[in-house]
Amino acid sequence: MDGEPLVRWPWIGSHLAYLSSLTADHAVIALVPVAVALALAVPLGLACTRFPRLYQPLAAVFNVVYALPSLAVFVVLIPYTGLAEMATVMIPLTFYAVAVLLPTTVDGLRTVPDPVRQAATAMGYGPWHRLAAVELPAALPFLVAGLRVAAVSSISLAAVGALIGRGGLGYLFIDGFQRTFPTPIVAGIVLVVLLALAVDLLLVLAGRLLAPWATRGGAR
């Protein structure tokens, strides 16, 4: 619309509750898949370090999945998960996040030298104790780095879900485009960026608290 300002601040002020609700919805849609992906990537990464031949086929499968257009995958899932259902968006986001987290998990676990593992075993550490006390702490900086990439990517991709009825802040882009009204679009962009920055900052802080040795010269 000619003469329409980029941002109408009164609209922002009168829609704060709406914007907060969309942001919370967006965070759930984007970040729950990352948490699920982490729970999948760690055991898969362990399996790949124990059985190295498994890694390349698994990585190839997830790389192919990651290359698929998200909107096309959402549409394919609709007959099985339903239109406007969270699962339709969250399932692909989970696989995309695994594609990012699997390589970083494997790289982190591979940083533990075999002599260290053998020494831990000689000291009486069982497989699970060794995993918790030796292997996962070594992999933690790599996991945090992968989580940062996966989380930011998921927050960005989640907006596409608005096209099939479930996309959090993505609704603002559709609304603004349909009404030739740029204010919701600008608000959506700003909120997506702020959400991504906030989550990334929290992960950085968590990484520094959990792996302080990695802040100097380690993986970030």
Q: Is residue 4 part of a domain?
A: no
Distance, in Å, from the CA atom of 142 to the CA atom of 42, rounded to the nearest integer, reads 12
Between CA 43 and CA 47 the distance in angstroms is 6
pLDDT digits (tens, 9 = 90+) for 187-205: 999 999 999 999 999 999 9
- Domains in the chain, number: 1
* In-domain check, residue 132: yes
Span 204-217, pLDDT tens digits? 999 888 877 665 54
Instruction: Confirm whether 220 is domain-assigned.
Output: no
Please indicate, yes or no, if residue 2 is contained in any of the structural domains: no
pLDDT at 219 (0 to 100): 41
In a domain, 125, yes or no: yes
pLDDT of residue 44: 94
> pLDDT per residue over 104-129, tens digit each?
999 988 887 777 777 777 787 777 77
DSSP, res 6 = S
Q: What is the C-alpha to C-alpha distance for residues 117 and 52, in angstroms, rounded to an integer?
A: 16
Counting residues of the chain whose pLDDT is more than 70, the rounded percentage is 94
Mean of pLDDT over the chain: 87
Q: Report the sign of the C-alpha dihedral through residues 113, 202, 164, 166, in that order.
A: positive
Please list, in sequence order, all residues whose beta carbon lies within 8 angstroms of the beta carbon of residue 99, skipping any fewer than 6 positions away. Answer: 62, 63, 65, 66
Band the pLDDT of 218: cuts 50, 70, 90.
very low
pTM of the predicted model as reported, rounded to 2 decimal places: 0.87
The CATH number given to whatever domain includes residue 178 is: 1.10.3720.10
Q: Tell me, yes or no, whether 209 lies in a domain.
A: yes
Residue 16 within a domain: yes
Q: At what angle do helices 86-110 and 70-81 cross, to 10 degrees?
A: 120
Which pLDDT band, with edges at 50, 70 and 90, does 85 fall under?
A: confident
pLDDT score of 1: 52
176 occurs within a structural domain: yes
Model confidence at 2, pLDDT cuts 50, 70, 90, reads low
CA distance linking residue 190 with residue 123, whole number of Å: 53
Domain that holds residue 153: 9-215
pLDDT at 220 > cutoff 50: no
